[in-house]
Amino acid sequence: MKFYDSKGLPNPDRVRIALAEKGALDQVEIVQVNLWKGEHRTVEFKIKNPSVTIPLFELDNGIAISETTAITEFIDHHFEGIPLTGIGAQERAMVHMMQRRGEQKIVDAIGAYFHHATPGFGAEIEINQNREWGELHKLKTLEGMAYFDQVLTTQPYVAGENFSMADITVFTGLNFSEAYPKVMVPADCKALQAWRKRISERPSCDFVKETNIQTL
């Protein structure tokens, strides 16, 4: 199996952490894709993934799985180890609900700010930018941080009592937000800060400390 990665960006980092949580990083071939150079827009890559997005998971039978949540679902059910998508109907529903909120309120929001209100991946990649739209999503990111801070005042993890892919989503979104474009978690989000520190201490997240987002 192949994992098409772009280390330091939230969605591929979500897959990397999921694999590490399952102890499966050594069971896949990791292929780094340089988004700043448009390597995801080649004809060869478009054949694998018409959406031209990273991450991408290519199975041994040639099937290519895109969309981070779908890839995480595959990882969770293919490899043994800690459950990432919940156990039982209620927990699975809560994990998926909070994971989607993590995408909307943090990952997608800071992504829109990055692509529209900053140089992003550069002029050759970032076309049709709308700065006003991007700035609006900076505010949405900060609102998302406040929301998850409130959630984490009443429970240990984003979706409840257990670590899940929802935690991975919010964690990687915050890491990217602070690394670049420097939208920091507010100091008064104490529950969110404490949760983030706990998550950062998991062995699966060690690589995040070493990540150097290239050319930003």
pLDDT tens figures, 116-168: 999 998 888 888 999 999 999 999 999 999 999 999 999 999 999 999 999 99
Q: Is the pLDDT of residue 210 over 70?
A: no
DSSP alpha helices (H): ranges in the chain? Answer: 10-21, 43-48, 68-78, 88-102, 108-117, 131-151, 165-179, 190-200, 206-210
Q: Which residues contact 54 (CB under 8 A, 6 or more apart)?
A: 4, 5, 6, 9, 11, 12, 33, 35, 40
pLDDT computed for residue 124 by the predictor: 82
Mean pLDDT confidence for 183-191: 97
Note the CATH architecture for domain 88-205: Up-down Bundle (1.20)
Q: Among all chains, which residue has been given the structure tokens 């995408």? A: 103
For the chain, what is the mean pLDDT? 94
Instruction: Please tell me the CATH code under which domain 2-78 is placed.
Output: 3.40.30.10
pLDDT of residue 123: 85
Q: What is the dihedral of CA 126, 183, 55, 43, to 10 degrees?
A: 10
What are the boundaries of each domain within the chain? Answer: 2-78, 88-205
**What is d(CA 18, CA 68) in angstroms, rounded to the nearest whole number?**
10
What is the pLDDT at residue 215?
38
Mean pLDDT in residue range 85-91: 98
More confident residue, 209 or 123: 123
